């Protein structure tokens, strides 16, 4: 769960939009299982109706200062103006902003925004709302507004010289201003200002539904919000561009995929955002539904405690041991067994969605038990009488692996790993915890990262590489770090890529950072999980499967087929 | 009579002591889990100072004994605090889920009693036949099945063919179709069928055994022989004589099991995403929402103890010999 902040949007987006894309997948590496090519797209558009989506993730909060789940981000993207968004080619285009310019030194960005937008309560949306939101986040960014602060990192002030002009000033040129601003949700000043409270504490306790419905300024506003039930968003009559075809969209939460699929089959839903890989092939033959498979940025990973002060099992700090472990991860079997074939092996923290920033020069480690054993033998780690290897300090290679609950397929992944590593003379034991407890256990004690050995988890990255790169920074110890890794050389490169405006030069730095990861192995990267979703053939209009949570385009165009 | 009041007093005192112990356990148990509300907030970008401030706001900066004293003090005064997540009073956080859970539990209990009585009567009447063995073993089998697994089986094999909802408590889209009160009632009923059926199937076995046992005892009584001699039909013998005299232990069992069912809905409500007290507890654990958890478990504890106490009183009423 700790890995579901910014990037989780992507996986949800992939799944959901894939579910609704009425044609073959346009995603890199993706392809439709059930050829409904063009059927939905060529059918007549029928206006109105409620699109009912089932999901197994839930919006954790409607408050953007609190929530972090995929569904929450999707809701905010649809209901709050953002300056920019991604288009169907994954290029940044305007959302509320019509155009923008940058000063010659790259520090001042000026946006011209649309003049005719209104919040759902009828008040006009102006640049003053954006300036207010930006300055609010700057003021409380190290406290209650921390969840929104990364999206305006390095900015120093927001100004609105007139109703349609927003000026953002940065303290240095920033390489990813636009991708970051894509997630910067502009909030209604007249609603938020009164609830700020002492030291901004009111922001965390703000209930945007307290007035009976959310005051939204996007294509929709939240009419009813039910964390455990169905959240309904309705059309915002004051939307600043072409209104969507549907009257409303409902998001119904299910605790398990079986219940959700039963509802889809029974006609209680029009689409589901996630199909378990184990059921996908069975559904691909159903004539009433389209199953669509797409790429995603969901990656299974194995964090290894990289804190040099780690107290026990210090053999895990030995790069030779890490290399041996990497060679003993049977990625293909994991893909076949855990993902039923719906995945690809990976060697870095990025998938092809982040191209060209994914370092394709780093090879996928082959599954080679013999080579792995040889590395450990040569390093002097002999097997004890029970077949388990022993370190020079007498420490047995008997490790505890933190396994969070509620990550699909993670138990089977652990079992495969246990079997493979047993052949190396290594025993691992699962320590199952809920996500909060698991993250605490990784940082224990008190975020010093002294106790844990390894974990299995997932990351869901983002198109721009900045956030994923940041999780290995020294300043993320006690923050997003789940490895205890700290390398000043890596940190320096991170800062450098952040201010390198030349795309080629930035790519070179990002690739070098992945080389460092590949050398130090704070993570073993295992496999990318593809998105699989299903939708009723009564719906069409969503042709781009990657954009939910990153764009208003998909739900603007969804429609019933004639 | 004095012995009777003494008995009631002893049971009441025992119930109060049990509640106090449960209150204390409620406090300790949740704090043993790693992490607290500030870590569950996942405010990775927050400074340590802000996290410390949050802990102070939640009262988590005080020592555990201090927190315990405050907690006891508030609980005695009927103040269960406010939810860490919503900032709303715990009582109001729990009230709606309780209202959602109660009718579902009642329906489930009715299903289990009806199934249990039917199978128990069949088993007793057809003693030592295949029908006897089949109903008893069937009841025990369902009783032994993991609740969440059984719930999933119902979803897989019943939800689709019967077009029954598998999530939530009501169809949120009814408001768009101007459905009347009757349609809303039917919709609510449909949403609780599968969770209630799960309760019914899991629990009917214990009723089967009790009914069978009581019925066998009753069927051996002289008045049954008399009824036969009078030429009454089997149906009349069962319904008007044997079953009626076998109901006393069932009434007690209903009281006892109601409390446990209330607590046992966590799994069922989680599988069906049914927004009752069980799902509220499940989510509060994830959120480390101590006040809600303490309030919910206190409520469950009180319900169970109250039901036990009522069962004790019922025994006393039905059979005064228990005081001896």
Phi, psi of A11 (to 5 degrees): -65, -45
Q: Is B78 on the interface with A (CB under 8 A)?
A: no
Contact residues on chain B for A255, CB-CB shorter than 8 A: 167, 270-273
**What pLDDT does residue A211 have?**
87
Please tell me which of the candidates A5, A141, A262 has its beta carbon nearest to residue B166: A262
**What pLDDT does residue B253 have?**
79
**What pLDDT does residue A45 have?**
84
Query: Are A149 and B45 in contact (CB < 8 Å)?
Result: yes
User: How far from each other are the two terminal CA atoms of chain A, in whole angstroms?
Assistant: 40
Q: For residue range B172-202, what is the model confidence (pLDDT) as tens digits?
A: 888 888 778 899 999 999 999 999 999 999 9
β pairing state of A427-433 and A559-561: unpaired
Q: Taking a C-beta distance cutoff of 8 angstroms, is the pair B209, B120 a contact?
A: yes
Instruction: Summarize the confidence of residues A487-503 as an average pLDDT.
Output: 93
Both tokens of residue B179? 């459905």
Closest CA to A292 of A551, A13, A553: A13
Burial of A467 by CB count in 10 Å (0-12 exposed, 13-18 middle, 19+ buried)? buried
Find, in chain A, the residue whose alpha carbon is nearest to that of B280: A228
B149-178 residues touching A, CB cutoff 8 A = 152, 155-156, 159-160, 163-169, 171-173, 176
Q: For residue range A154-164, what is the model confidence (pLDDT) as tens digits?
A: 999 999 999 99
Query: Are A254 and B273 in contact (CB < 8 Å)?
Result: yes
**What pLDDT does residue B4 have?**
67
Q: Taking a C-beta distance cutoff of 8 angstroms, is the pair A248, A234 a contact?
A: yes
Please tell me which of the candidates A68, A146, A433 has its beta carbon nearest to residue B46: A146
Instruction: Name residue A528's beta-bridge partners.
Output: A299, A344
Query: Are B155 and A258 in contact (CB < 8 Å)?
Result: yes
Q: How far apart are CA B175 and CA A72, in angstroms?
A: 24
Q: Is the pLDDT of residue A34 over 60?
A: no
Highest mean pLDDT among A138-142, A374-378, B162-166: A374-378
Q: Is the pLDDT of residue B323 over 70?
A: no
CA B169 to each of CA A228, A252, A272, B173, B292: distance values in angstroms, whole numbers, following the listed order: 10, 11, 19, 12, 21
Q: Is the pLDDT of residue A524 over 80?
A: yes
Chain centroid to CA A526: how far?
A: 17
**∠ at Cα B27 (B25, B29), nearest 5°?**
65
Give percent above pLDDT 90 in chain B.
Answer: 19
**What pLDDT does residue A316 have?**
95
B63 vs A340, more confident: A340
A7 vs B238, more confident: B238
Q: Is the pLDDT of residue A24 over 50?
A: no
Q: Taking a C-beta distance cutoff of 8 angstroms, is the pair A241, A230 a contact?
A: no
Find, in chain B, the residue whose alpha carbon is nearest to that of A445: B34
3-state helix, strand, coil in chain B (%, to 5): 80, 0, 20
Distance from CA of B152 to the nearest CA of A (A): 7
Closest CA to A95 of A118, A109, A77: A77
Torsion sign, CA atoms B57, B60, B66, B68: positive
DSSP B98-134: HHHHHHHHHHHHHHHHHHHHHHHHHHHHTTTSHHHHH
Contact residues on chain A for B34, CB-CB shorter than 8 A: 433, 436-437, 440-441, 444
**What pLDDT does residue A5 have?**
39
Lowest mean pLDDT among A233-237, A421-425, B124-128: B124-128
Q: How far apart are CA A481 and CA A495, in angstroms?
A: 17
Question: Which residue bears the tokens 């019967």?
Answer: B162
Q: Is B146 on the interface with A (CB under 8 A)?
A: no
Average pLDDT of every residue of chain B: 83
Contact residues on chain A for B41, CB-CB shorter than 8 A: 66, 204
Contact residues on chain A for B156, CB-CB shorter than 8 A: 258, 262
pLDDT band at A41 (very low <50, low <70, confident <90, very high): very low
B297 vs A334, more confident: A334
Lowest mean pLDDT among A6-10, A51-55, A148-152: A6-10
CA A465 to each of CA A7, A178, A496: distance values in angstroms, whole numbers, following the listed order: 10, 13, 13
Mutate to test the interface with B, among A202, A229, A273 (most CBs of B within 10 A): A229
Q: Is the pLDDT of residue A150 over 70?
A: yes
Q: Which helix (H) or strand (E) holds A379?
A: none
pLDDT band at A37 (very low <50, low <70, confident <90, very high): very low
Query: Are A439 and B39 in contact (CB < 8 Å)?
Result: yes
Q: Which residues of A127-159 are buried (b: 16+ CB within 10 A; e: fewer)?
A: bbbbbbbbbbbbebbebbbbbbbbbbbbbeebb
Find, in chain A, the residue whose alpha carbon is nearest to that of B283: A228
Q: How far apart are CA B228 and CA B220, in angstroms?
A: 12
* Whole-structure pTM value: 0.79
Q: Taking a C-beta distance cutoff of 8 angstroms, is the pair B125, B220 a contact?
A: no
Find, in chain A, the residue whose alpha carbon is nearest to that of B51: A143
Q: Is the pLDDT of residue A556 over 90?
A: no
- Residue B181 Ramachandran class (φ > 0 left, ψ -120 to 50 alpha, else beta): alpha
Please tell me which of the candidates B156, B173, B279 has its beta carbon nearest to residue A228: B279
Query: Are A2 and B40 in contact (CB < 8 Å)?
Result: no
Q: Taking a C-beta distance cutoff of 8 angstroms, is the pair A368, A403 a contact?
A: no
Q: Which domains does chain B have, with CATH numbers?
A: 91-318 (1.10.3720.10)
Both tokens of residue B167? 């999530």
Both tokens of residue A242? 């072409």
Average pLDDT of every residue of chain A: 87
Q: How far apart are CA A347 and CA A528, in angstroms?
A: 10
CA B244 to each of CA A400, B110, B121, B211, B215: distance values in angstroms, whole numbers, following the listed order: 59, 17, 11, 11, 9
Q: Which residues of B257-270 are buried (b: 16+ CB within 10 A; e: fewer)?
A: bbbebbbbbbbbbb
Closest CA to A266 of A246, A248, A252: A252
Measured from the Cβ of residue A305, the count of other Cβ atoms closer than 10 Å reads 26
Q: For residue range A427-478, what is the model confidence (pLDDT) as tens digits?
A: 999 999 888 788 889 998 888 999 999 999 999 888 889 989 999 999 888 8
Closest CA to A351 of A404, A302, A303, A300: A300
Lowest mean pLDDT among A182-191, A454-463, A499-508, A551-560: A551-560
Please tell me which of the candidates A5, A141, A266 has its beta carbon nearest to residue B159: A266
Distance from CA of A268 to the nearest CA of B (A): 8
Q: How far apart are CA A215 and CA A218, in angstroms?
A: 10
A131 vs A273, more confident: A131
A393 vs A309, more confident: A309
pLDDT band at A547 (very low <50, low <70, confident <90, very high): low
Q: Taking a C-beta distance cutoff of 8 angstroms, is the pair B261, B203 a contact?
A: yes
Q: Is the pLDDT of residue B54 over 90?
A: no
pLDDT band at A39 (very low <50, low <70, confident <90, very high): very low
Query: Are A143 and B288 in contact (CB < 8 Å)?
Result: no
Highest mean pLDDT among A478-482, A505-509, B59-63, B182-186: A505-509
Q: Is the pLDDT of residue B224 over 50?
A: yes
Three-state secondary-structure class, residue A292: strand
B139 vs A15, more confident: B139
CA A169 to each of CA A85, A94, A173, A177, A220: distance values in angstroms, whole numbers, following the listed order: 20, 19, 10, 11, 30
Q: For residue range B25-35, what is the model confidence (pLDDT) as tens digits?
A: 878 877 776 66
Lowest mean pLDDT among A530-534, B101-105, B173-177, B248-252: B248-252
Q: How far apart are CA B214 and CA B123, in angstroms?
A: 11
Distance from CA of B82 to the nearest CA of A (A): 12
CB pairs under 8 A between A and B: 139
User: How far from each other are the two terminal CA atoms of chain B, in whole angstroms?
Assistant: 12
Closest CA to A80 of A217, A214, A183, A232: A217
Closest CA to B287 of B155, B5, B145, B93: B93
Instruction: Summarize the confidence of residues A110-120 as an average pLDDT.
Output: 96
Q: How far apart are CA B111 and CA A105, in angstroms?
A: 74
Q: Is the pLDDT of residue B46 over 90?
A: no
Query: Are A440 and B163 in contact (CB < 8 Å)?
Result: no
**What pLDDT does residue B321 have?**
63
Contact residues on chain A for B167, CB-CB shorter than 8 A: 54, 229, 252-255, 259-260, 263
**What pLDDT does residue A11 have?**
34
Q: Is the pLDDT of residue B92 over 70?
A: yes
**What pLDDT does residue A195 have?**
94
Q: Taking a C-beta distance cutoff of 8 angstroms, is the pair A138, A152 a contact?
A: yes
Q: Is the pLDDT of residue A27 over 60?
A: no
**What pLDDT does residue A425 have?**
96
Q: How far apart are CA A122 and CA A114, in angstroms?
A: 16
Angle between helices B90-125 and B243-271 (to 10 degrees): 130
Q: For residue range A360-386, what is the model confidence (pLDDT) as tens digits?
A: 999 999 999 999 999 999 999 999 999
Phi, psi of B269 (to 5 degrees): -70, -30
Q: Does this complex have an ipTM over 0.85?
A: no
Contact residues on chain A for B45, CB-CB shorter than 8 A: 141-142, 146-147, 149-150, 479
Phi, psi of A183 (to 5 degrees): -105, 10
Report whether the peptide linkage leading into residue A445 is cis, meaning its omega lies within 30 degrees of zero. yes
**What pLDDT does residue A496 have?**
93
**What pLDDT does residue A8 have?**
36
Lowest mean pLDDT among A195-204, A513-522, B154-163, B296-305: B296-305
Q: Is B88 on the interface with A (CB under 8 A)?
A: no
Instruction: Summarize the confidence of residues A313-332 as an average pLDDT.
Output: 96
Phi, psi of A45 (to 5 degrees): -85, 130
Query: Are B35 and A437 in contact (CB < 8 Å)?
Result: yes
Phi, psi of B16 (to 5 degrees): -65, -45
Q: Is B33 on the interface with A (CB under 8 A)?
A: yes
**What pLDDT does residue B47 have?**
65
Please tell me which of the candidates A146, A229, A260 has its beta carbon nearest to residue B45: A146
């Amino acid at each position: 769960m700790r890995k579901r902040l910014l990037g989780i949007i992507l996986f949800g987006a992939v799944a959901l939009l894939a579910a609704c894309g009425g044609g073959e997948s346009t995603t890199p590496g993706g392809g439709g299982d059930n050829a409904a090519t063009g059927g939905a797209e060529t059918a007549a558009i029928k206006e109105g109706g409620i699109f009912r989506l089932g999901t197994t993730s839930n919006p954790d909060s409607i408050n953007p200062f609190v929530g972090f789940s995929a569904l929450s981000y999707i809701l905010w993207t649809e209901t709050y103006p953002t300056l920019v968004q991604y288009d169907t080619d994954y290029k940044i285009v305007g959302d509320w902003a019509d155009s923008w310019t940058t000063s010659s030194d790259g520090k001042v960005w000026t946006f011209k925004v649309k003049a005719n937008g209104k919040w759902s309560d009828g008040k006009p949306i102006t640049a003053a709302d954006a300036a207010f939101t930006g300055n609010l986040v700057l003021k409380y960014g190290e406290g209650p507004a921390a969840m929104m602060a990364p999206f305006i990192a390095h900015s120093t002030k927001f100004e609105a010289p007139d109703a349609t002009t927003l000026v953002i000033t940065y303290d240095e040129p920033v390489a990813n201003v636009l991708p970051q601003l894509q997630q910067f949700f502009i909030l209604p000043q007249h609603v938020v200002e009164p609830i700020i409270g002492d030291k901004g504490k009111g922001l965390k306790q703000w209930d945007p539904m307290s007035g009976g419905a959310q005051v939204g300024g996007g294509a929709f506003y939240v009419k009813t919000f039910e964390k455990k039930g169905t959240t309904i968003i309705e059309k915002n009559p004051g939307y600043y561009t072409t209104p969507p075809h549907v009257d409303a969209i409902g998001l119904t939460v299910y605790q398990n995929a079986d219940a959700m699929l039963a509802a889809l089959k029974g006609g209680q839903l029009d689409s589901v955002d996630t199909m378990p890989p184990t059921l996908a092939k069975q559904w691909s033959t159903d004539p009433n539904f389209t199953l669509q498979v797409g790429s995603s940025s969901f990656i299974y990973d194995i964090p290894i405690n990289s804190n040099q002060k780690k107290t026990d099992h210090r053999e895990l700090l030995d790069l030779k041991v890490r290399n041996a472990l990497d060679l003993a991860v049977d990625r293909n079997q994991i893909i076949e067994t855990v993902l039923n074939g719906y995945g690809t092996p990976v060697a870095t923290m990025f998938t092809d969605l982040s191209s060209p920033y994914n370092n394709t020069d780093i090879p996928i480690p082959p599954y080679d038990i013999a080579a792995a054993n040889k590395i450990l033998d040569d390093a002097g780690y002999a097997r004890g009488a029970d077949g388990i290897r022993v370190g020079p300090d007498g420490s047995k290679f008997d490790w505890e692996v933190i396994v969070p609950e509620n990550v699909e397929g993670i138990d089977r992944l652990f079992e495969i790993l246990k079997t493979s590593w047993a052949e190396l003379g290594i025993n691992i034991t699962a320590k199952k915890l809920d996500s909060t407890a698991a993250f605490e256990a990784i940082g224990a004690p008190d975020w010093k990262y002294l106790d844990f050995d390894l974990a299995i988890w997932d990351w869901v990255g983002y198109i721009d590489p900045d956030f994923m790169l940041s999780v290995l920074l020294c300043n993320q110890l006690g923050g997003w770090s789940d490895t205890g890794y700290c390398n000043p050389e890596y940190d320096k490169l991170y800062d450098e890529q952040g201010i390198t405006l030349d795309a080629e030069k930035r790519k070179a730095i990002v690739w070098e950072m992945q080389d460092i990861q590949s050398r130090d192995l704070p993570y073993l990267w295992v496999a990318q999980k593809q998105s699989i979703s299903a939708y009723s053939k009564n719906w069409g209009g969503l042709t781009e499967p990657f954009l939910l949570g990153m764009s208003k385009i998909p739900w603007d165009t969804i429609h019933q087929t004639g | 009579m004095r012995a009777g009041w003494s008995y009631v007093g002893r049971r009441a005192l025992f119930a109060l002591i049990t509640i106090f112990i449960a209150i204390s356990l409620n406090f300790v148990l949740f704090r043993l889990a790693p992490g607290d509300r500030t870590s569950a907030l996942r405010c990775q970008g927050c400074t340590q100072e802000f996290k410390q401030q949050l802990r102070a706001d939640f009262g988590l900066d005080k020592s555990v004994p201090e927190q315990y004293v405050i907690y006891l003090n508030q609980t005695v005064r009927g103040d269960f605090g406010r939810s860490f997540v919503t900032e709303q009073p715990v009582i109001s956080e729990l009230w709606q889920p309780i209202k959602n859970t109660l009718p579902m539990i009642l329906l489930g209990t009715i299903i289990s009693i009806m199934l249990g009585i039917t199978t128990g009567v069949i088993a007793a009447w057809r003693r030592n036949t295949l029908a006897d063995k089949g109903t008893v073993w069937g009841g025990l089998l369902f009783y032994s099945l993991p609740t969440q697994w059984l719930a999933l089986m119902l979803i897989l094999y019943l939800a689709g063919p019967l077009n029954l909802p598998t999530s939530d408590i009501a169809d949120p889209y009814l408001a768009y179709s101007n459905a009347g009160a009757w349609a809303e009632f039917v919709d609510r009923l449909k949403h609780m069928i599968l969770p209630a059926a799960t309760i019914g199937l899991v629990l009917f076995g214990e009723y089967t055994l009790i009914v069978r046992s009581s019925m066998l005892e009753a069927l051996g009584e002289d008045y049954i022989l008399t009824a036969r001699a009078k030429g009454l039909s089997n149906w009349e013998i069962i319904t008007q004589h044997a079953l009626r005299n076998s109901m006393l232990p069932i009434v007690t069992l209903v009281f006892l099991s109601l409390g446990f069912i209330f607590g046992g809905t966590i799994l069922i409500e989680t599988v069906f995403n049914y927004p009752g007290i069980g799902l509220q507890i499940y989510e509060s654990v994830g959120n480390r929402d101590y006040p809600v958890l303490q309030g919910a478990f206190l409520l469950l504890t009180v319900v169970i103890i109250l039901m036990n106490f009522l069962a004790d009183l019922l025994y006393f009423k039905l059979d005064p010999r228990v005081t001896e």
